[in-house]
């Protein structure tokens, strides 16, 4: 069998060997706890400080504004619950605004807060998955404390107008969080240019290790810790730091941002061929998401009369690794909440296929996918 073709980079990416090299000493001989006073501890502390400084530089932030977490999910939870709880205690209000197409790390956190008595507005999106600033402006109330809207969508790749949305929130004195987990590898993360108060990232989406994330928290933004304990991360997230993971995140982020232009050009080239080739071979296919305001590595389609799960199994048998939508909702039978919010009819939404390219993909692989895909679709289509 030929080499498998991995087209699921939105789910996770392989670890960059340069990142592994940077991490290895902290998994082996430099194993100290950064809170220890002795030399081993101080070495670990120094690695942590350097990683924080490096991340802050990439984000155009200061090191004190970076909180390391165990994942993008935890960063989203900390941002939303942290601000909501802090402002509730200050008696400021209990209304949160998000969008209907967020990752479940945001949506389920908002559902949970709603059960606790917070009010939540989930903004609609247009047919491309865009949140419109005027729609946000209309939803803001005197008791609104936080807006959370993702930078780029994990299913269809649509890039939201974050600077404009953040400006609307700020005009009303409301804090703005963005889940930038999918954007970390390919878009600018300058928090000043974006105008955001909080921003979440996850290392495994840009060739770093799984199980480590971070939250940028602008100085002065009230944040109630969600994990209590030894007071690490300036009391904002307790727990002995994952030094190797954090070094990995910082190294991967720096490399991703330094190599962004070439990476995006590489992905865009493959992605455009994939889209053009597929639409040519399967004219009834529908491309989802915005035609231009989309992540350079994302292609997302729906096919008529096709069950997405069966298609994924068929592709897997042929060594093509893809996804139906977000990995976290794979296995669920109901159509994706993102496609539903974009107005994709349910019978079309059930036949969703997300192909996300990355560093190791080649033009030859894309041609092979284009050769194999039409037959696979035909084989799983209802008759």
Residues that bind ligand PLP (CB under 6 A): 71-73, 76, 103, 105, 150, 154, 179, 181-182, 202, 213, 326
Smallest gap, in angstroms, from Cβ of residue 41 to ligand PLP?
Answer: 27
Distance CA 54, CA 64 (A): 12
Q: Give 45 or 300: the residue with its C-beta nearer to ligand PLP.
A: 300
Q: Give 94 or 202: the residue with its C-beta nearer to ligand PLP.
A: 202
Q: Give 140 or 215: the residue with its C-beta nearer to ligand PLP.
A: 215
**How far, rounded to the nearest angstrom, does the alpha carbon of residue 257 sit from its chain's CA centroid?**
15
Position with the least CB separation from ligand PLP: 72
Q: Give 256 or 306: the residue with its C-beta nearer to ligand PLP.
A: 256
Tokens standing for 299?
């292609």
Smallest gap, in angstroms, from Cβ of residue 322 to ligand PLP?
Answer: 15
Asked whether 251 and 22 are in contact (CB, 8 A), the reply is: yes
Q: Give 60 or 70: the residue with its C-beta nearer to ligand PLP.
A: 70
**What residues contact 351, with CB distance under 8 A and at least 6 apart?**
302, 303, 304, 305, 306, 307, 308, 311
368: how many CB neighbours lie within 10 A of its CB? 17
Distance CA 86, CA 82 (A): 6
Smallest gap, in angstroms, from Cβ of residue 224 to ligand PLP?
Answer: 20
* Catalytic position from the list 110, 267, 302, 328: 328
User: Kind of pairing, strands 144-148 and 175-179?
Assistant: parallel
Q: Say whether 110 is catalytic.
A: no
Nearest to 255 by CA among 267, 263, 246: 263
Smallest gap, in angstroms, from Cβ of residue 259 to ligand PLP?
Answer: 21
Smallest gap, in angstroms, from Cβ of residue 297 to ligand PLP?
Answer: 13
Distance CA 256, CA 274 (A): 23
Give the active site residues.
Answer: 328
């Amino acid at each position: 069998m030929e080499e498998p073709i991995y087209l699921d980079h939105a789910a996770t990416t392989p670890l960059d060997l340069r990142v592994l090299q940077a991490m290895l000493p902290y998994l082996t001989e430099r194993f100290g706890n950064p809170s220890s006073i002795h030399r081993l501890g101080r070495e670990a502390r120094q690695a942590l400080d350097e990683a924080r400084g490096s991340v802050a530089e990439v984000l155009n932030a200061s090191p004190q504004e970076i909180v390391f977490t165990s994942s993008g999910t935890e960063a989203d939870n900390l941002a939303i619950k942290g601000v909501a709880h802090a402002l509730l205690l200050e008696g400021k209000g209990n209304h949160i605004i998000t969008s209907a197409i967020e990752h479940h790390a945001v949506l389920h956190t908002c559902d949970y807060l709603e059960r606790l008595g917070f009010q939540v507005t989930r903004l609609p999106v247009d047919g491309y998955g865009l949140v419109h600033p005027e729609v946000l402006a209309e939803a803001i109330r005197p008791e609104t404390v936080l807006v959370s809207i993702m930078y780029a969508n994990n299913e269809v790749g649509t890039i939201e107008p974050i600077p404009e949305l953040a400006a609307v929130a700020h005009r009303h004195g409301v804090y703005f969080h963005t889940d930038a987990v999918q954007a970390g590898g390919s878009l600018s993360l300058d928090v000043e240019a974006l105008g955001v108060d909080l921003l979440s990232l996850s290392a495994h989406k840009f060739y770093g290790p799984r199980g480590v994330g971070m939250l940028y928290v602008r100085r002065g933004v009230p944040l109630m810790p969600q994990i209590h304990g030894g007071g690490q991360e300036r009391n904002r997230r307790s727990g002995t730091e994952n030094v190797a993971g954090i070094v990995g995140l910082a190294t991967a982020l720096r490399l991703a941002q330094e190599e962004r232009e070439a990476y995006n050009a590489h992905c865009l080239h493959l992605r455009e061929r994939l889209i053009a080739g597929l639409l040519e071979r399967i004219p009834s296919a529908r491309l989802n998401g915005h035609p231009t305001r989309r992540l350079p590595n994302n292609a997302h389609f729906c096919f008529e009369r096709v069950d997405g799960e069966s298609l994924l199994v068929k592709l897997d048998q042929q060594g093509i690794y893809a996804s139906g939508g977000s990995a976290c909702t794979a296995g669920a039978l109901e159509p994706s909440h993102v496609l539903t919010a974009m107005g994709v009819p349910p019978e079309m939404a059930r036949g969703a296929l997300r192909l996300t390219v990355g560093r190791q993909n080649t033009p030859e692989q894309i041609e092979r996918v284009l050769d194999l895909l039409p037959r696979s679709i035909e084989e799983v289509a209802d008759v």
